[in-house]
Copies of this chain bind each other. A is one copy, B any other.
Amino acid sequence: MTAIPSQSATPDASASHVDQDPRFSRFIVDLFGVMAYGELSAFERLSSDARFSPTLRDRAALGRLAVIEFEHFEMVSDHLAGMGVDAEEAMTPFQPSIDSFHERTRPADWYESLMKAYVIDAISGDFYKALAGRLDEGTRTLINRIQSADGQGLLQTRLKSALSDDPRLASRLALWGRRLVGEALTQAQRVGIEREFLGGLLFSNANENQEKDMVKLFAQLTRNHSRRMSSLGLTA
């Protein structure tokens, strides 16, 4: 199987666009490839970090969040398989940049790990949902099911209680949050440039509008992030 479905592949109904335009098919495969690898690596990082939780209850709670990431990874993989695309091949191009993102944002302790999950899950959810709004219904439904912010409530509650137990944590986590969002946006742009990924965002539009829409999207992601930081009592 190849990462780009060929004309002879038998895509399912939700992938009906795929055969219509090779650029669209390439975009969708890239989108699911980056999502799948993002989920798989989030699962591995979260579950490794879970071990350092202060209590067994926290370990179990973080483990559950990790498992949800894995289930999302499987949903995306299955969707790719339904399109006649091998998930491994679709993920491979994004492996170096996502691995290096994780290397640059290694949490120093369990609280930074919670914060990373809170910030990165939310911002990538926003990002994918913004794309989904411009895509076909099958893709949109899948993305909305996956990016349903399952763990956000739990992470927020746990972070709030940690911040109220130790007020000195606030300045460290505020700084960490800024670093995370900066790295995430840089990462999104880098992937976009490397894979002409964001080009697909406004696929049917003229080139000059693409840049404007990208700027608008990034401004929206930053605003949402600030709101989430505020809800923890932190300055974004």
Contact = CB atoms under 8 A, between A and B. Distances in A.
Contacts of A50: 44
A63 B51 contact: no
Contact of A47 (B44, B87, B92): B44
A25 interface: no
Interface residues of A, number: 28
A36 to B, nearest CB: 9
Nearest to A77: B60
A55 B59 CA distance: 28
A40 B66 contact: no
Contacts of A77: 60
Contacts of A47: 43-44, 47-48, 66
Contacts of A51: 41, 44, 48
A206 to B, nearest CB: 37
26 contacts: A40-B56, A40-B59, A40-B60, A40-B63, A43-B47, A44-B48, A44-B50, A44-B63, A47-B47, A47-B48, A48-B48, A48-B51, A56-B87, A56-B88, A56-B91, A56-B92, A56-B95, A57-B88, A60-B73, A60-B74, A60-B77, A63-B70, A63-B73, A64-B70, A64-B74, A67-B70
Given A43-B47, A47-B47, A56-B88, 20 more contacts: A40-B59, A41-B51, A44-B47, A44-B48, A44-B50, A44-B59, A47-B48, A48-B48, A48-B51, A55-B88, A56-B87, A56-B91, A56-B95, A57-B88, A60-B73, A60-B87, A63-B73, A64-B74, A66-B70, A67-B70
Interface of A: 37, 40-41, 43-44, 47-48, 50-51, 55-57, 59-60, 63-64, 66-67, 70-71, 73-74, 77, 87-88, 91-92, 95
